[in-house]
Structure 1
Amino acid sequence: MKKKMYGMGIAAIVAATCMAVPVFGEDVTTIDFWYHDGNDVSNAYWQEIIAKFEEKYPEYKVNYTGLPVESSMTKYTTAVATGTAPDVVDLRDTDIATMVGMGCVTELTDIVSGFEEAAHYNQAGLDVTRSFANDGGLYCLPIYSTLNICWADTALMDEKGIEIPTTQEELLEDCEKYADPDNNKYFFSLRGGSGCTENIFDFIFTYANVDHMFEEDGTCVLSQPIFAEALDKYASIYWNGWTSSDSLTNGFTEMVAEFGSGTSMFIMHNSSSYAQHLANLGEGNFKNVKPLANDEGTVVTKALSAVGLAIMNSTEHQDAAAAFVEFVANAENDEFICATEGRVPMNELVYESDWFKNDPYNLVYSEMTTDENVKWLTYPFWLNEFSDFTSSYVAPGWQAVLLKERTSEEVLKEWADFLTNAQKSYLESIEK
């Protein structure tokens, strides 16, 4: 895939920033912006966007902080509690309910309505962000979304004459056939550590062919026997030695490193890991594919995840903060971010660009959103307890299953009981 050469390189960015940004005087307003996932890729593109913003608006200066993804929400909430919150933050859909519940973010409907490109913001993305606020307000302007997919090392698979699996059963067959533990080579990298929830849920809900988390009365479906059968199937990849022993604690970084080094050929992740695969494997040597289907040809996967910018209530510089949010959300910068990091843009003006139309990765995402065999599972981010559930219950429980310290039935019942209690309490609260 040929892409626009947006990035100038770190050294060039620094040089361009020094030349483009005027000397700041006493009349300059400074705003602080925190991003939830500061890494080499995101830090570089934010610095470039900020340089362009400061060139266009010399009356504003932006102090950027890229946070470690694992601790970003803790840092957000601590800053709010201590009165040290920045002016602008980015929020994942998983963060919105918490921040709205703390009363620390600004409702944006009136502000956003005045933005020049407001009519072109993706309605589905706006609806998603609204759905996570208990009052249906717009507290976050979505900039990009991600979809859960699979990534295949096509160069390595072509070399070995392996076809890309399209079903869960084919995945298990390939895991068994191509496992070579003596040489630390495997078909698949399993994620057993932090952030494993989405991989687990994609597998077991697809296997069970169930696209809802709760029954109407608030009972969580995870205690149904089909889910234990599904979790056993997924865990068998580790039990049988068909993935590396490190998979037990693999988080995102470790899983992507295995995939990028040839330890594995196939992983389940989402569209955001494109940049890492490009750096590790090189263009033309990998591709994204639709999530694995069950025996009936159906995929059940997490509903679209929107990520965007929010303005903190505590800011003393709302005009400057709003100008920055609008600048980031314009088509040029939305395309830049998404093309750099493999995201799906939320500004529909980008859909008419050559990049979006000609990018083969985008074709997969577009096909997924119109495929009648793809069902979307909505995670209960409206539950304040859900974030704690994924970190304090899912990962430890999953590792206990992998180590055979607990059965799938035991762990799934614990998960189901926790979510059932939370959902029923929530339903009672909104009925009052």
Structure 2
Amino acid sequence: MRIPKVYRGRTAAAVSLTAVLALTATACGDDGSGGSGSEGSGKGEITLWDNNTGERREIWSQIIKDFEKQNPDIRVKYVGIPIDQVQQKYDTAIDGGGLPDVGGVGTAYLSNLVVRDVLDPVGDRIDASGLKGKLVPVMVDGVKSAGGRGDEMYSVPTSSNNGTLWYRTDLFAEADLAAPTDWTTFYAAARKLTAAGKNQFGYTMRGGSGSIAPAMDAMYGQSGITSFWNGDKTTVNDPRNVAALEKYVALYKKVTPSADVNNDFIKMVAQWDNSSIGMLTHNLASYQDHVKALGTDKFKGLPYPTREDGSRVQVSNPVDGLGLFKNSKNKAAAWKLIEFAASHKSNSAWNESAGSIPANTDAAADSWVQKAEPTAAAMKALSDGTTKIVNLPYYLPDWNTISKSGNEPNFQKVLLGDMSAKEFADKIAKELNDAQAEWKEQNKS
């Protein structure tokens, strides 16, 4: 298979970083990508790479301790990796050797691992295990879509951070406003809560790094379009999406701070937590930041607004998961760890610690989920079929470039009035259609 042009460039960069990162061969195969490994004895040592070290280290330590108690013949070597380095580390290990037995794999970079043939499919293992029928369907669909190989799964989903509309209940009460459950009340509240002369704003938006996905949420959420593709052409520049984007970006500087044009999520969240701003769209990961800044009585979180008919459409949020690496010499033991970590008790504990939505459906009734109102609402919206998810094309090797460095500066131009919403959407659409055509050509059977 021919390696896509963007992926070729990224691979070359990873090779040049090998000496700098100085990765050691911590696991299993003779090299990073060769060989098919083996089931092994089901005993001995296996290596786990955590793809977001830091706050997760403690909960992983407990899960591993519980696992080793239940499986005394298996020892787990934990390797924590900062989230902003994990993709580089996988790339470098593929080229230089030393992939783990089990690794955290998010949908945002799953396809690159699938293309390079370093992950084992896990669908049959799931069906033969206690996980069968116990995984949130939209997360399963997200993993399948991101892998780009039809119904095959190359990761076991463990969590998701659903898009959330955070709103200041105290400010809404003072203004005698109803909760912004639909787009009409959202826009009305944004206008009513704004008093720019008093430095009070109805909304804050993300205009800097990471701005494309929330913009698409606003587009598809309002238009009601439920598929990213119409045949082999993207729906991004559908006239209904363009109209929705025009309405959304018109909020900038009218009901938002002018600083929004440069704000990434860290600056945006800090701004909302420390100012008189009515609403913010971000995922569940910022919940603890809001609690620290505002307490628990001054804000709430809702799934993204519904349309007038009550339907809700959201673009897919990255789904985190665990991958089984093909060159593992002890897949039997590695799979036991994955199954254990994705089981009810472990998956619930992990997500409670991380503030994310559990992938295991049995966790939905756990007390911590019900007490964490935004998480409970998000899990209900994802599990009961009332939310339509538009799966972003994570499987395209060009997706990260198109949705980040390639077009984030153009979104800023739209906010500033230097580019029209249609020009912006048409440019992204052309790049996506070209990337889709290239991907299909490369994946002809």
Q: What TM-score bracket applies, with the shorter chain setting the length? A: 0.7 to 0.9
The correspondence for 1:376, drawn from 383, 389, 394, is 389
Distance 1:287 1:406, change over 3 A: same
1:195 aligns with 2:233: no
1:326 aligns with 2:325: no
Structure 2 runs not aligned, ≥5 long: 1-42
Rounded to whole Å, the distance in 2 between the matches of 1:165 and 1:353 is 27
Q: Alignment partner of 1:289: what SS? A: strand
Q: CA deviation at 1:417?
A: 0.6
Rounded to whole Å, the distance in 1 between the matches of 2:383 and 2:343 is 26
1:140 aligns with 2:155: yes
Q: CA deviation at 1:78?
A: 2.7
Rounded to whole Å, the distance in 2 between the matches of 1:164 and 1:277 is 18
Q: CA deviation at 1:398?
A: 0.8
Rounded to whole Å, the distance in 2 between the matches of 1:131 and 1:204 is 21
Q: CA deviation at 1:418?
A: 0.7
The correspondence for 2:88, drawn from 68, 74, 99, is 74
Q: CA deviation at 1:265?
A: 3.0
After TM superposition, the structure 1 = structure 2 runs for residues 138-177 of structure 1, keeping only pairs within 5 Å, are 138-177=153-192
In the TM superposition, what whole-angstrom CA distance separates every residue of 1:158-193 from its partner, at most 9, and x where no partner exists? 355443223334333333333344554422120112
Q: CA deviation at 1:249?
A: 2.3
| Aligned 8 A contact 2:138 2:383 in 1 | no
The correspondence for 1:128, drawn from 117, 142, 153, is 142
The equivalent residue for 2:40 is none
| Aligned 8 A contact 2:228 2:390 in 1 | yes
Q: Alignment partner of 2:404: what SS? A: helix
Amino acid across the alignment from 1:107: P
The equivalent residue for 1:12 is none
Q: Alignment partner of 1:237: what SS? A: coil
RMSD: 3.0
After TM superposition, the structure 1 = structure 2 runs for residues 31-430 of structure 1, keeping only pairs within 5 Å, are 31-35=47-51, 37-40=52-55, 42-57=56-71, 59-69=74-84, 71-112=85-126, 115-118=129-132, 120-135=134-149, 136-182=151-197, 184-216=199-231, 218-240=232-254, 242-303=255-316, 305-356=318-369, 360-369=373-382, 374-429=387-442
Rounded to whole Å, the distance in 1 between the matches of 2:133 and 2:334 is 20
Amino acid across the alignment from 2:116: M
Amino acid across the alignment from 2:143: T
Rounded to whole Å, the distance in 2 between the matches of 1:113 and 1:205 is 33
Rounded to whole Å, the distance in 2 between the matches of 1:315 and 1:372 is 37
Rounded to whole Å, the distance in 2 between the matches of 1:49 and 1:308 is 15
Aligned length in residues: 401
The equivalent residue for 2:45 is 29
In the TM superposition, what whole-angstrom CA distance separates every residue of 1:369-421 from its partner, at most 9, and x where no partner exists? 47777433122223222222111233222112122232222211110111111
Amino acid across the alignment from 1:386: W
| Aligned 8 A contact 1:275 1:340 in 2 | no
In the TM superposition, what whole-angstrom CA distance separates every residue of 1:236-288 from its partner, at most 9, and x where no partner exists? 22243x22233122222222222222342311123343333333333343222
Rounded to whole Å, the distance in 2 between the matches of 1:53 and 1:373 is 36
Aligned-residue sequence identity (percent) comes to 21
Please give the TM-score of this superposition, normalised by the length of structure 1. 0.81
Structure 1 runs not aligned, ≥5 long: 1-26
Distance 1:393 1:299, change over 3 A: farther
Rounded to whole Å, the distance in 2 between the matches of 1:371 and 1:324 is 29
Q: CA deviation at 1:366?
A: 4.9
Q: Alignment partner of 2:166: what SS? A: strand
Q: Alignment partner of 2:298: what SS? A: coil
Q: Which has the higher helix share?
A: 1
Rounded to whole Å, the distance in 2 between the matches of 1:150 and 1:331 is 28
Q: Alignment partner of 2:389: what SS? A: strand
Distance 1:163 1:220, change over 3 A: same
In the TM superposition, what whole-angstrom CA distance separates every residue of 1:99-141 from its partner, at most 9, and x where no partner exists? 1001111222454456455553445533432333343332111
Q: Alignment partner of 1:79: what SS? A: helix
Amino acid across the alignment from 1:171: F
Distance 1:55 1:184, change over 3 A: farther
